[in-house]
Structure 1
Amino acid sequence: MMAVLFLAGCQALNPEPDTSLYQQLGEREGIANIVEDLLYLIVEDERINHQFKGMDVAQFHRNLTDQLCELSGGPCTYTGREMRELHADMAITNTQFNALVENLILAMEENDAPTGAQNRLIKRLLPLYPDIRNL
């Protein structure tokens, strides 16, 4: 019995890739739809829209779709710039960071992503926080 518990504990430390998250988000097409809705929410959000002025919308959409696809266990590869480099001169505040996360959650809700999948994606994005905030 102890051996079974030990092996189960070891498995928990090294989980298999979670392709179900990718599927729950609607695969690449669903993720692209989430990102598109996120872009509309960003434009409407005065807390953060100034941070995105002048950006290449098509490139942002493609890169963020690839990044979320990769983070969710999909077959995509993010080839954009590193987060620290990309956000170095933006001086993003906690309020702005939280506003973007709120908008991402709204976009996922608008696309019927299950709450559990939303939470799992946010959990995978959290390690990027120090590089985005340049801490």
Structure 2
Amino acid sequence: MKTLLSISFALLLAAGPLAAQDAAVSAEEQAILAEEARLEAEEAASAAPMNDPTAPNPAPAHPELRPVLDQFGGEAGLTKLMDTFMAGLIADPRTGPFFANSDQVRVKRQLVEQFCVILGGDCTYTGRDMKSSHRDMQIGRGDFNALVEVLQVAMNEHDVPFAAQNKLLAKLAPMHREIVNK
């Protein structure tokens, strides 16, 4: 019996440091998991749109314009249009500096969403309002006009009828109040 107690005691002593080591690893793992959770929450918060409550809706739906969306080729047509539009924005020396270091894939996706909603499509706009999006960009009236010119060239390249172009531009034009900030 004394031998059995000695063996049990020896096992407990041997297990003691291992149990303490396991507890330390567990605490370390918990710290890592907590840090990962904090980083994920921070990333999610930065990805969430930051909206200015005083800014107008950047994508007001106009269901009456659904036929105009069809003239743009629907959401697929808008996606192709945005590829051409972004290439034009980058190539134009007046607008290129504003887009060269942007997340162009995200910008194109959000423009497709925005135009689609405005034209009465079944899309959801996931971007920020125009005031928040352009706050620190120092955009002048000439910069805004240059962007519109590049958009018109892209729409012409995609054979969007002139009347359809004007209907979209009429909905976008008032946004200059939130975009032009210089």
Q: When the two structures are superposed, what TM-score results if normalisation uses the length of structure 2?
A: 0.64
**Is residue 85 from structure 1 mapped to residue 122 from structure 2 by the alignment?**
no
Stretches (4+) displaced over 6 A: none
Matched, 1:22 2:69: yes
Question: CA shift at 1:129, angstroms?
Answer: 1.1
**Higher RCO by CA contacts (8 Å cutoff, separation 6 or greater):** 1
| 2:165 is the alignment partner of 1:106 | no
Matched residue count: 121
State the distance in 1 between where 2:139 and 2:126 align.
22
**TM-score under structure 1 length normalisation:** 0.85
Equivalent of 2:89, from 35, 42, 45? 42
Summarize the Cα distance change of 1:74–1:117 in structure 2 as closer, same or farther, 3 Å threshold: same
Counterpart of 1:124, as a letter, is K
Q: Which residue of 2 aligns with 1:69?
A: 116
In the alignment, is residue 31 of structure 1 matched against residue 71 of structure 2?
Answer: no
2:63–2:120 Cα contact (<8 Å) kept: no
Unpaired runs of at least 5, structure 1: 1-14
1:18 Cα shift? Answer: 2.0
Q: Which structure's CA Rg is the greater one?
A: 2
Q: Which position in structure 1 is the counterpart of 2:38?
A: none
Give 3-state SS (helix, strand or coil) of 1:54's partner. Answer: coil
